[in-house]
Amino acid sequence: MKSFGTIAIVAGLTFGMSVGEALAAQWNVSVWGKRRAFTEHVEKLAELVAAKSNGEFTMNVSYGGLSKNRENLDGISVGAFEMAQFCAGYHRDKNPTITVLELPFIGVNTLEEEVAVSHAVYAHPAVQKDLARWNAKLVMTSPMPQYNVVGTGAAPTGLDDFDGKRIRATGGLGAAFKTVGATPTSVTATEAYTAMESGVVDSVAFAQHAHLSFRTIDLATWWTANLNPGTVNCPVVANIDAYNALSDEHRKIFDESIDEAIEHYLTNYAELLKKWDTILAEKNVTKVEFSADQLAAFRAKAADPIREEWIENMSAQGIPAQELYDLVIDTLKKQRGES
């Protein structure tokens, strides 16, 4: 009888543990590099869900320990971790719909506008279907300002000076620089410093936080202050099965914490931008500014031709490309209070 009693107790404990485990949720989150402005919304989301759930829902944010940055979407697809960040330009064929947000010169001026257009695109059924192929639910964007370039050697004084440059620029940005004679390469952010140091590239296009975090600014002699050709779109996604497995309470906490996490990100990034000119001066980096005519010439070469080619290619794949592009433009107008 004693053995049966022991079995009953163990069974009861096991059942009790399974109930407790069902109430708890522990997610692994795959990002890369180190904690920086680019990951602050992920860190804030982890902080918020833990606090609001009294520690029942936790996220362990891993910087490169779970996957390589180019493989995060693959990891999500097989459930290797529950949430991840990736950039569309790393594998455009895997996420063609969101590459509309990487088209050059689409006219986004602020981080708030970047959030608005990204989340509008993410909510489109065709985009959700596209990412669902990887069992991925779009959670939030990682808004970045317009990319600009740091480089070594003589500072450019015009677009012709990019002719022959080997530039780290992915996606639509790479296509834009190609129109002025540069040779784009899509080395990852974590490889950019080594590529620049070794001479594999002589210039790198990043947002400000990445020039700092990946230390390309330490090698630079110049920085383009107003080229502003576009930016890269880097979503945070959750594994659909993991999201659906959350309790109703935890799912509600997760969903309601996203906007707060984004607000924290925007506030934090604004502080970085305030310091940028001081950082350039401290590192003795020359600020390069192009004239309005030079910028207009760049747009003429890159904006319309690349957009039209994108729409044609995506439409041929059955993607509502014109509709997605129009959604971006209409969202910008709405965000600015324009008719």
Token duo for residue 227: 């080229």
Question: What one-character DSSP code corresponds to residue 221?
Answer: S
Same domain, 127 and 268: yes
Quick one: pLDDT at residue 339? 64
pLDDT at site 186: 86
What is the rounded distance in angstroms from the CA atom of residue 242 to the CA atom of residue 115? 25
Co-location of 179 and 281 in the same domain:
yes
Within-domain flag for 161: yes
What is residue 171's predicted lDDT score, i.e. its pLDDT?
84
What is the total residue count of the chain? 339
The answer to whether residue 2 is domain-embedded is: no
Whether residue 19 has pLDDT greater than 80: no
DSSP H or E stretch at residue 150: strand 148-151
When divided into structural domains, the chain yields a total of 2
User: Does one domain contain both 207 and 83?
Assistant: no
pLDDT by residue (tens digit) across 42-69? 999 999 999 999 999 999 999 999 999 9
The CATH number covering residue 204 comes to 3.40.190.170
Mean pLDDT of the chain: 92
Residue 321 confidence (pLDDT) above 90 = yes
Span 296-312, pLDDT tens digits? 999 999 999 999 999 99
| Same domain membership, residue 199 and residue 55 | no
pLDDT, tens digit, 9 for 90 and up, residues 165-197: 999 998 889 999 999 999 999 888 899 999 999
8 lies in some domain:
no
What is the mean pLDDT of the segment spanning 22-39? Answer: 92
In a domain, 6, yes or no: no
The answer on 279 and 250 residing in a single domain is no
41 and 185 housed in the same domain: no
pLDDT > 90? residue 164: yes
> Which residues lie closer than 8 Å to 261 by C-beta, 6 or more apart?
41, 42, 44, 45, 48, 140
Mark whether 218 and 255 lie in a shared domain: no
Are residues 123 and 75 located together in one domain of the fold? yes
Does residue 158 share a domain with residue 84?
A: no
Closest CA to 192 of 225, 223, 220: 220
Dist CA 184 CA 149 (whole Å): 12
Q: Which domain holds residue 190?
A: 148-231+274-335
Among residues 234, 189, 213, 236, the alpha carbon closest in space to that of 46 is found at 236
Clarify whether residues 269 and 280 are in a common domain: no
Edge-to-edge strands of the sheet including 222-224? Answer: 183-185, 166-168, 203-206, 148-151, 222-224, 286-288
Task: Reply yes or no on whether the pLDDT at 35 is more than 90.
Answer: yes
Residues 242 and 314 in one domain: no
The verdict on residue 19 lying in a domain is no
**Residue 10 pLDDT greater than 80, yes or no:** no
Positive or negative torsion for Cα 201, 109, 102, 290: negative
108 assigned to some structural domain: yes
CB 227 within 8 A of CB 148: yes
Q: Is residue 16 part of a domain?
A: no
Counting residues of the chain whose pLDDT is more than 90, the rounded percentage is 88
Tell me if 99 is assigned to some domain. Answer: no
Is residue 281 located within the same domain as residue 165? yes
